[in-house]
Structure 1
Amino acid sequence: MVSVRSSKYLQRGRSRLALTGALTGLLLALSTATARSDSAPDIPPRGSAYMGMGVLAHDGRGPYDSATTRGSQTEGVDVSSHQRDVDWPGLWGDGATWAYAKATEGSSYTNPYFNQQYDGPYSVGMVRGAYHFATPDSADGATQADYFLAHGGGWSADGRTLPGALDIEWNPYGDACYGKSKSGMVGWIRDFLNRYKSRTGRDAVIYTATSWWTQCTGDYAGFGGNPLWIARYASTAGTLPSGWSSYTMWQYTSSGQTVGDHDRFNGSLDRLKTFAAD
């Protein structure tokens, strides 16, 4: 027969074992959650994407010479809400003569700093333009073109306003190609470009990187009539996507003066103004 005293010891032992088991399970759950958190990529909030966001992550950064081709090309910058209010007189003094500001993303986001970033360069003498960050998984191309045009993405033939730019690159929120097949992506881009041209009379600029274009459109060659803005952080623009024999603009670094992203227009300032007015 088990004594009352022995029974108490047994109950205490069982309680300790149960508590130890519970603590062990809790610690295991916490360590598993931490491991998952450490291994999972950080997904930024919608609307926070900007031009070139995926270039460093996927293409990296090579050496570049800021003086290379400067004699025949024209310096520019691109900005988004990450730069907030920009020192446009300072950039003008550093030699930047043109700028693009992010206006919209998808079909619901507008840049809260857009007015300062779009009107500011114009006021100091720069040529300016607006760009749209495409999210083909959130709405169709025509819808996003309409949204862009309704929130700053228009064009006027004043010689100081550049045609709107479509920023089409890696998806910062998920699948690199936004869950689309190559033909599906080509169709989405075509819908955006067609709607933009039908409403403005201008061909939108296409901003992209060759590796993304190859991966997500199958290196489609049918948009060569649109101006190309190539993204590559290196000493040269490198191999261009099929359909283009030359680029109109080149985003060559994300670590330039005053704001990170610096670009070159492939021509003189007079040619840039002609491009803006055409």
Structure 2
Amino acid sequence: MPRTGSRTIRRRRGFLSAAGALLAAIALLLALPGAAAAAPHDDSPIKPGEAWMGAGVQQHEGDPTDGTPPPTLAATVEGVDVSSHQGNVNWSSLWSSGVKWAYVKATEGTSYKNPYFTQQYNGSYNIGMIRGAYHFALPNNSSGASQANYFATNGGGWSKDGKTLPGVLDIEYNPYGATCYGLSQSAMVSWIRDFTTTYKARTGRDAVIYTTTNWWSQCTGNNSSFGSTNPLWIARYASSPGTLPAGWGFYTFWQYTSSGPIVGDHNVFNGAYDRLKVLANG
């Protein structure tokens, strides 16, 4: 018995020694430069300029999806949205996987420009995708007109080339503070109208509005006045887009997951490819 006990103790010591060595190796790897860098969609606090399309959605509504495309109508087209978090994107891999359109973050507020915008915006275009740009709104930062002009000047313009989609107003949960940015429902509606009216005057196109039904209901009072002019991009990480905000009878884009394969959030265009080209052409 004593010898058996000694062998058992030695085995346990050997196991603990090996486990300690493994933990030390992991600690060493984490100490390497860049090893502890935050993943694009982790739980680290978001710094000014770092918000992406859906940042607030994840915080407030979560994302139980695994990136698998939901069962949808056959006539849909797969797309992605990207920001600085994705860096230089391998557009050929996305194209080969079936992604045919992309939206790229251009601006946020009136002081941030995506440093990877050129590679992402031109790269998606050059590989053959229909692409567009989006603006992350900060309604507590400056007026809607100011941000629309900043966006239109810094990547959010539009040209009738058959491959450029109208710009997107990303208006969602505030990832930096108060959900509705400290604005009343009527003030938020006025801010959105200020942005969309100015963007239309600058580009000749009605901006797409990206939002969630919950946020829209809470922060605009479920205002129904934009549905007849501005295409809807609904964000809902589930097997269906669910109930839409007031005023919209259908969605144009649906962001169905923030956990898509390869890179970026994944979405579908609600129609066949030829209809996507119609939207691009205006």
**Per the shorter chain, which TM-score range?**
0.7 to 0.9
Stretches of structure 1 that go unaligned for 5 or more consecutive residues are 1-40
Equivalent pair of 1:251/1:261 in contact (CA under 8 Å):
yes
The C-alpha deviation readout for 1:126-174, integer Å capped at 9, x for no partner, is 0000000000011000000000011000001111000000000011111
* In structure 1, C-alpha distance between the alignment counterparts of 2:70 and 2:259, rounded to whole Å: 14
* Aligned counterpart, 1:52: 54
* Aligned counterpart, 1:193: 196
Stretches of structure 2 that go unaligned for 5 or more consecutive residues are 1-42
Counterpart residue type for residue 196 of structure 1? Y
Q: How does 1:254-269 map to 2 (within 5 A)?
A: 254-269=258-273
- Which contiguous aligned blocks of 4+ residues in structure 1 show a shift greater than 6 angstroms? none
Percentage of identical aligned residues: 62
Match of 2:240 among 236, 241, 250: 236
* In structure 2, C-alpha distance between the alignment counterparts of 1:101 and 1:63, rounded to whole Å: 22
* In structure 2, C-alpha distance between the alignment counterparts of 1:94 and 1:263, rounded to whole Å: 13
Match of 2:132 among 123, 129, 134: 129
The C-alpha deviation readout for 1:89-137, integer Å capped at 9, x for no partner, is 0000000000000000000000000001100110010000000000001
Match of 2:106 among 103, 108, 115: 103
Q: How does 1:1-80 map to 2 (within 5 A)?
A: 43-63=45-65, 66=69, 68-69=71-72, 71-80=74-83
Give the deviation of 1:68 after TM superposition: 1.4
Provide TM-score, normalisation by structure 1: 0.83
Change (3 A) 1:86 1:42: closer
RMSD: 1.3
* In structure 2, C-alpha distance between the alignment counterparts of 1:169 and 1:56, rounded to whole Å: 11
Match of 1:246 among 227, 247, 250: 250
* In structure 1, C-alpha distance between the alignment counterparts of 2:136 and 2:271, rounded to whole Å: 25
* Aligned counterpart, 2:30: none
* In structure 1, C-alpha distance between the alignment counterparts of 2:262 and 2:44, rounded to whole Å: 27
Match of 2:168 among 165, 168, 171: 165
Indicate the SS of the match to 1:154: coil
Indicate the SS of the match to 1:272: helix
Equivalent pair of 2:70/2:240 in contact (CA under 8 Å):
no
Equivalent pair of 1:253/1:260 in contact (CA under 8 Å):
no
Give the deviation of 1:202 after TM superposition: 0.6
* Aligned counterpart, 1:22: none
Equivalent pair of 1:89/1:124 in contact (CA under 8 Å):
yes
Give the deviation of 1:59 after TM superposition: 1.4
Indicate the SS of the match to 1:186: helix
Equivalent pair of 1:133/1:167 in contact (CA under 8 Å):
yes
Give the deviation of 1:71 after TM superposition: 2.1
Provide TM-score, normalisation by structure 2: 0.82
Indicate the SS of the match to 1:206: strand
Counterpart residue type for residue 169 of structure 2? L
Counterpart residue type for residue 103 of structure 1? A
Q: Answer with 1 or 2: which has the greater Rg.
A: 1
Indicate the SS of the match to 2:71: coil
Counterpart residue type for residue 255 of structure 1? S
* Aligned counterpart, 2:14: none
